[in-house]
Amino acid sequence: MTDTKRPREPFAPWDRRSLPGLFDVEETAERIGNYKWVEMKLFEALGGWVATVPELDVKLRLGTHCYHHAWHAELFDKRLPELREMKTERLTVPANDQLVAFFEAMTEPEEASMTIEKLVGVYRVLIPYKIAAYTYHRNATSEITDMPTVRILDFVLQDEFNDWREGEMLIQSMIETEAEVERAMNHQLKLEKLMLAAGGIAGPGSIGDPYVEIPEEN
């Protein structure tokens, strides 16, 4: 008697994922190299501000958060050799010159009286863009072929959301006048324009290309 039973699907009935993700190995390595660069620069910025901000509560939070970003950079660094057989330094680069300009502007406020500007740059501009890029990457990659990257991004995103919440609470606690509202908004606008020019932390396409045409089904 011929067995006509339909072959069992590779995934459980409730799981209809596709095997390949959107990124090949080369693009994954390039993006993770960009992420590592961003995490290192943010670690350096927060670590430097710890010594200069006068507000003790801000100082304590920045000290905690800067080591989150150091750990994130370490996670991305360890993932790179598994993706490409080359020195990680070659991939640890900014996405473009515009992103470098963003970081220069974000770290420009140095005076002790500019804590609001420091916090706005990190928690109202940079970290939201990081969360967007990491979430896009996590959702677009394959849990079958690239689960190590998915796991790393899950850990990193947990920190990012927690830090974002605490940073926003610090900002709100410091803004007490209309003049301070305007300071925060003006600095955010300046940095948002620079990030727009950069296209996100991984350059244009950080959260996908909205102009890619999706083939129509037959």
What's the farthest any 2 CA atoms get from each other in the chain?
85
- Per-residue exposure over 153-175, b if at least 16 CB sit within 10 Å of its own CB, e if not: beebbebbeebbeebbebbeebb
| Residue extents of the structural domains in the chain | 25-198
- Per-residue exposure over 26-36, b if at least 16 CB sit within 10 Å of its own CB, e if not: ebbbbbbbbbb
pLDDT by residue (tens digit) across 33-48?
A: 999 999 999 999 999 9
Task: For residue 104, give both structure tokens.
Answer: 């220069």
Per-residue confidence (pLDDT) for residue 8, from 0 to 100: 67
pLDDT by residue (tens digit) across 54-98?
A: 999 999 999 999 999 999 999 999 998 877 666 778 899 999 999
Q: Which CATH class is domain 25-198?
A: mainly alpha
- Cβ partners under 8 Å of residue 190, min gap 6: 105
